[in-house]
Structure 1
């Protein structure tokens, strides 16, 4: 059913749903547009509406071939909407769900496009704060790039900043998608341009490997890994590309490249990657999605149940892993220093046997408890059997005669 958005736009059908609202295919004075209608709880927040209007100039002024441009901002009654360019294609998450991992040349070309878009945004003083595959659109109607890649455009600039107002999110809270959050955000520091570089390097790692370097499982565990763990190496890629990934995934923001430098370095590597097939990488944790539920319930999965592929964890009840628009955006408490100090303490998670529980996980603890219980029961049965044998061999007292067992006591 069509609905009016302000006085100039009409929304015709839903294209997808995200953490901040619903995206519609719409029509405006200049033709088709995409309309992101923000959630009702956001539109009823007067402080947010004021911030929305204040950000109007910055968002409307961001023009770049690798950025989905915002054409208009609509504040009309209960409607709070961003009117954006319509990109004829799909998002990067959908492609990842379909192909699992990309050839290195295509993955690097997409990351270089996004880095170009970030460079323009950072030069304008805008930090994205939520770079992830769901926010990267692929233009299917444009010409193909290196490795058969489609032109990539970054969308949803400013949405995380709009949502993250002082009244909605206290200083002790963080907003973002756990798999892609930079360590400094986890530790409660203000987000700068370097957080986008870290997130983009995480996306590139995921494009190459099929899983994120620190993701999967309960969000709290993911946040801790960003601070304490080192990235697991990816065999089969040129050392130049690996060193670039390591630099942009550095814990210290100052060690990371700027967006313009990253884009240039990635494009320099494209000839080296031409013709390389997708990597054949064993996932270090294949049951992290199950462990998310285990951490919350304390229960282990039943034996023989299928294991779901690891990836960004949907945080909305009922969201399907194949849903490219699943809600992965969340607000969480900043972990305390003692919580961040737990876990691996700076060691990388090595690949393990498929289906085996990760050491220290809820499933691992449940398996250990079951083993201990089995041993205890076995020990009890063995002890009981030994006592019975001892009684049989040591008690020589003959039983009373059958006719005396029920007889009355003799009279004095």
Structure 2
């Protein structure tokens, strides 16, 4: 079916299930659509195979369809890998295959990021390289070669720590979310598949795809990431392929410690090229200059990209939360509540509001740990006296219990660095808690707790963290001496990434309770809105005025008064209700803002859906 025909566009339902919403990208093999899965009520990406030449030979047509099916199976074989875009299904519709994939919200590919923000710092580029190498190695172990590693096929997306580019995903085993991004794809009868300027020389001259060839392409990709242009970039694709075979790459000027690694990856002789094991070791040394017993890929602070502290371009990640040292009081805020400073209660330790740059750096540092935010509390109890459950550094005299709200004072006022001193907030509200105990990870002994509990906490709190705008996980591990006092278990906290959470989280919230701050609003929450200054949590099974769909953020130059008038428009653009199955002729986008998000500099907004006429929504609506 020709591209652009009325039956192939927005509004078409594929296989009786997937409603096409809008086109995400287009390339040599077809289009990629954002689609709504009407059965599971979620968003997916659909790859459509398109044949632009009606006279295309039958055998070539069959070959392309077969290749799409085979490569979809290859990617599906890597299902669940943290650095590979997940393939959910391959289906046929009107005689052609469609590939159902994970939709990566808020993602930008590496090529576009470098074009928009400039070259990356060596350590950041090495971090991305480690993730991509991990994905490639997993494929190579299954006998699957990628064959088209390039910046346009590496997605960088927000992770759960608030880091805008913390999640690294390799796409396009023939099924990119943004296929080819305008670059020419070569598919010849000899099975030469790839992109000019990134193909290994042995592939250009007709050799078979091998792991070494993928590593050469990775070297070209990292070169472009750190230098801002490809090592064999020329005026034409033919000139680029010629340069790959007969010319040396351009000398590096910005790569620093990454330079020798790039040179070894770009060896023309595959036998002399860096192996995956050698590449992993070399990249790890750049990412982590000094040994760290807990985080192999912790980024060097001195090697951050020059734009690390800048708000990312739209579509933005879901950051947010309030600044440290404030508590919530309801007040008008356009379409949402404000958060104003109030005096601290007696005995409260002063908590310094961190700068946004410090928060971003903290987010990047957390990438290497499970969930991007789990640190250890392992201080030992000195001889004499009753052992404290989590050691002197944490300072609690009794074990944490489910639902306990805590205040966290971090060493040097740098959140998520080191071990915080914790205090309890019995009200879960009056002192603007930083977080709450949401689960426990049991262990047989203290050594097992240190080794396994942080990852267990990451898994136990993953679902909740995915529903909140700006939180991180934290494992409070018992000390050796306090293991029994801690009841042989690690407390799994969910903490605000950039400030307090201002109230109970998840199932600890009571229906009917008023929101003091947007930090506790979760995706799919249903709200009763008596006025534009008051929102209450209600059951989605009954009448409600709004439903939370997601989060966005406004630019760093947008003031809070401006946000009160601009946030609805931003939500309509970034979190459109139609993408969640809501009829745009009936529903419209709404929003809620909090002053705390402007005090912390994160500028996050909660995006909702409501009826255009202001009527009540019911439990059977999308």
Counterpart residue number, 1:276: 303
TM, length-normalised to structure 2? 0.40
Counterpart residue number, 1:60: 76
Are residues 1:253 and 2:253 paired?
Answer: no
Three-state SS of the structure 2 residue aligned to 1:275 is helix
Q: Which has the higher helix share?
A: 1
Counterpart residue number, 2:173: 157
Alignment CA distance shift 1:203-1:52 (3 Å): closer
Counterpart residue number, 1:133: 151
From 36, 47, 70, give the equivalent of 2:47. 36
Counterparts of residues 283-302 of structure 1 (less than 5 Å): none
Q: Is the 8 A contact 2:220 2:266 kept in 1?
A: yes
Structure 1 residue 54: deviation in Å?
A: 4.8
Counterpart residue number, 1:199: 217
Structure 1 residue 71: deviation in Å?
A: 0.8
Q: Partners in 1 of 2:254 and 2:235 — Cα distance?
A: 27
Three-state SS of the structure 2 residue aligned to 1:253 is coil
Q: Partners in 1 of 2:158 and 2:304 — Cα distance?
A: 22
Q: What are structure 2's unaligned runs of at least 5 residues?
A: 1-9, 177-186, 290-299, 307-622
Post-superposition Cα deviations, 1:280-299, rounded to whole Å, max 9, x if no partner, equal xxxxxxxxxxxxxxxxxxxx
Q: What are structure 1's unaligned runs of at least 5 residues?
A: 161-167, 280-412
Q: Partners in 2 of 1:143 and 1:20 — Cα distance?
A: 35
Counterpart residue number, 1:170: 189
Structure ID, larger Rg: 1
Of the structure 1 ranges 34-43 and 195-204, higher mean CA displacement relative to structure 2 is found in 34-43
Counterpart residue number, 2:161: 143
Q: Is the 8 A contact 2:151 2:225 kept in 1?
A: no
Q: Is the 8 A contact 1:40 1:78 kept in 2?
A: no
Aligned residues: 269
Alignment CA distance shift 1:263-1:81 (3 Å): farther
Counterpart residue number, 1:105: 123
Counterparts of residues 180-191 of structure 1 (less than 5 Å): 180-191=198-209
Alignment CA distance shift 1:208-1:125 (3 Å): same
Alignment CA distance shift 1:267-1:22 (3 Å): same
Of the structure 1 ranges 58-67 and 228-237, higher mean CA displacement relative to structure 2 is found in 228-237
Alignment CA distance shift 1:124-1:41 (3 Å): farther
Alignment CA distance shift 1:100-1:195 (3 Å): same
Structure 1 residue 234: deviation in Å?
A: 1.9
Structure 1 residue 23: deviation in Å?
A: 1.3
Q: Which has the higher contact order (CA 8 A, sep 6+)?
A: 1
Q: Which has the higher strand share?
A: 2
Q: Partners in 1 of 2:278 and 2:174 — Cα distance?
A: 23
Are residues 1:77 and 2:94 paired?
Answer: yes
Counterpart residue number, 1:11: 20
Q: Is the 8 A contact 1:115 1:260 kept in 2?
A: no
Q: Is the 8 A contact 1:131 1:199 kept in 2?
A: yes
From 27, 30, 40, give the equivalent of 1:21. 30
Q: Is the 8 A contact 2:135 2:170 kept in 1?
A: yes
